[in-house]
Every structure is written in structure tokens, then in C-alpha cells.
């Protein structure tokens, strides 16, 4: 594609095309979008974050990441669609315009680029990073068990061959540490949203402990509002609640870490499941998935905007 308008949002793209898309979007919207490279993956790929900002310095901000589990292709595809949606809606949609006039949005579309590349070239079912594990023939770490939040506890594996291997220590993966360093140095994130697939759930902290987080009541009602908005388009039904009560115990997860950093509005999504395809969600599902998810994202972003803390 020669520009972001002719990019085909309704299909899955290899990583070089997503990188090109990001550069096109920045070039076409220099006053709104910039690209920040927050680090490098193990194999040396840039960890690109798109910053949507209308000005100001160190404004309160919203973090969104997609694709930390590489095989969940609908998340990277949805992230690409979100980026274009933000550009298209700024100045047209009053709610998004108000948010962007006061806050910045940071979007990392390919959070695990080595895994994403590998899932396109060698193993479509790859979930983890691609860093070798000393003493093991098995490769990679589950980057959503590698955060410093209950790290090493139940709900993550200590075996390098497991799909949920937590890694040798918290933040051992550059893909995770780069976000940690960036979010800490920024210091003004007010929402942190991670997108996964599939199971149709909207979850909030905690995953590593049964102890309810102190904002449990507010997060629960916000999740309810978000999944109601999501369902308004196609009737897609989501379950919602804390990770440990809704799915299972999981330690070392991203939103438990972000919440413990003081980012109150920390959520993770499990996107659409047609009931037949799992991670091989057909391409005709991409735009409906992204469109309905956007409703929920707007609910969370709007609540964050209207409830400063």
C-alpha cells in the first residue's frame, strides 16, 4: 500500500508491512502521530510505540499493547485498525477528541516482534519470545508471566519447555523490560490495557492473588459498562471480573504489574472467539472484532479521562 488509506485492514500482515504501516501513519499525520522506539527485541527488531498526542508535555496517558502473545494475530490486526481509527476520529468524534486534547495515547502494535515474525515464517502457533534458554533446547519465555508482580508464583511454569514459562527472573525479556522502563520513566500513565485472544473476557487485577485490588468495585462497574458497549454492535458476549476469579491464577502478568505501579485503570482483553477457529480466526472477523473492541476501549479511555486521579 502507498498510504494508510489503501492498507488492507481486513487481512493479516507480516511484520515488515506493519512496520511500514506505522511509518506511513506517522508521515501522513506528523502533528498527531509519532513513533518512539522503546527498545529492541532479542533478535534486534525495534519495539515501536505509536504516540498520539496533540501537544503538551508529559500529559496523562493511556497505554495500549497488542500481540504480546505472537500467535494471537487478531490482536496485532486490531491494533493496526485502532491506530487508523484514532487518526480518522480525532476532530470528528467528540469523545475521542476531548480525550486527545488532554491526554496522550501510546499504542504498541507488535509487542513481541520476534515471536510474530516466527509465527509467520516457522511456527504459526508460536506464543513466546525467541530468546534461547541456557541449558535447555526449548526457546523463549511467556512474556505475560515475566512481569514483576507475584513473579514465580503459582500460575506460571518454571519449565523452559512450557508455554507459560516465566523466565529466569522478572523482566528478563527485553520486550517486557523495555515497557517497564518506558512506563516508569514516563510516570504519568493513567490506564494500561493489554489485548489478547481468544475467550471473550475483560479482566482486571489481580491474577496472582485472591486479594481483591483496592479499586475492585470501580473496575468491576467500568468493565461492565465496557462489555455492554462492546456487545452493542454485534451482541458479542464477554465475561468480566478479576483474572484469578474469571480465568485462573496467573502470576507475573502485565496488568498486575501496572496496577501495582499505581495505574488504576489496568485491564486486559481476550478478544473474539467464533467457537471454531481459536487462533486461526478468519480474516473476515478482523474488522468486526476491532470495531466492537473499540467500543470497550472508548468506554475505558473515556472513564479515565473523566475521572482524573
Smallest distance, other proteins to C-beta of residue 93, A: 29
Which is closer to other proteins, CB of 4 or CB of 32?
4
Largest CA distance in the chain: 55
Inter-helix orientation angle 94-102/73-89, to 10°: 90
Distance between CA 197 and CA 285 in Å, rounded? 13
Q: Please, which residue, 90 or 126, has the CB nearer to other proteins?
A: 126
Closest CA to 105 of 227, 191, 22: 191
Least distance to other proteins, CB of residue 248, Å: 6
Interface residues toward other proteins, by CB under 8 A: 1, 8, 11-12, 121-125, 159, 161-163, 198-199, 246-248, 273, 275-280, 282-283
CB of 2 to other proteins, least distance (A): 10
CB of 238 to other proteins, least distance (A): 12
Q: In this complex, which beta carbon is closest to other proteins, that of residue 121 or of residue 232?
A: 121
Are 151 and 251 spatial neighbours (Cβ–Cβ below 8 Å)? yes
Told to judge if 270 belongs to the known catalytic residues of this protein, a careful annotator would answer: yes
**Residue tagged active-site, from 173, 175, 270, 292:** 270
CA angle, 220 then 256 then 246, to 5°: 45
Q: Which of 143, 185, 135, 181 is nearest to 160 (CA)?
A: 135
Cβ closer to other proteins: 159 or 221?
159
- Report, as residue numbers or ranges, the catalytic residues: 270
Amino acid at each position: 500500500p502507498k498510504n494508510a488509506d489503501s492498507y488492507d485492514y481486513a487481512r493479516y500482515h507480516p511484520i515488515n508491512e506493519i512496520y511500514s504501516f506505522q511509518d506511513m501513519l506517522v508521515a501522513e499525520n506528523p502533528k498527531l502521530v509519532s513513533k518512539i522506539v522503546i527498545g529492541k527485541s532479542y533478535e534486534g527488531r525495534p519495539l515501536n510505540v505509536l504516540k498520539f498526542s496533540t501537544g503538551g508535555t508529559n500529559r496523562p496517558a493511556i497505554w495500549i499493547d497488542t500481540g504480546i502473545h505472537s500467535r494471537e494475530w487478531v490482536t496485532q490486526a486490531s491494533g493496526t485498525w485502532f491506530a487508523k481509527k484514532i487518526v480518522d476520529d480525532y476532530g470528528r468524534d467528540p469523545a475521542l477528541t476531548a480525550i486527545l486534547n488532554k491526554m496522550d495515547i501510546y499504542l504498541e502494535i507488535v509487542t513481541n516482534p520476534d515471536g510474530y515474525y516466527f509465527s509467520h515464517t516457522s511456527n504459526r502457533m508460536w506464543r513466546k519470545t525467541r530468546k534461547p534458554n541456557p541449558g535447555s533446547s526449548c526457546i523463549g519465555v511467556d512474556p505475560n508471566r515475566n512481569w514483576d508482580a507475584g513473579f514465580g508464583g503459582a500460575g506460571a511454569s518454571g519449565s523452559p519447555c512450557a508455554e507459560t514459562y516465566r523466565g529466569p527472573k522478572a523482566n528478563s525479556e527485553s520486550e517486557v523490560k523495555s515497557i517497564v522502563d518506558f512506563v516508569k520513566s514516563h510516570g504519568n500513565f493513567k490506564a494500561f490495557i493489554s489485548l489478547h485472544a481468544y475467550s471473550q473476557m475483560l479482566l482486571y487485577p489481580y491474577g496472582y492473588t485472591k486479594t481483591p485490588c483496592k479499586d475492585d468495585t470501580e473496575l468491576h462497574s467500568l468493565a461492565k459498562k465496557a462489555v455492554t458497549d462492546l456487545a452493542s454492535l454485534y451482541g458479542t458476549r464477554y465475561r468480566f471480573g478479576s483474572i484469578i476469579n474469571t480465568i485462573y491464577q496467573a502470576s507475573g502478568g502485565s496488568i498486575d504489574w501496572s496496577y501495582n505501579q499505581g495505574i488504576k485503570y489496568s485491564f486486559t482483553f481476550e478478544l473474539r472467539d467464533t467457537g471454531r477457529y481459536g487462533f486461526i480466526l478468519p480474516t473476515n472477523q478482523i474488522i468486526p472484532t476491532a470495531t466492537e473492541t473499540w467500543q470497550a476501549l472508548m468506554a475505558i479511555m473515556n472513564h479515565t479521562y473523566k475521572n482524573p486521579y
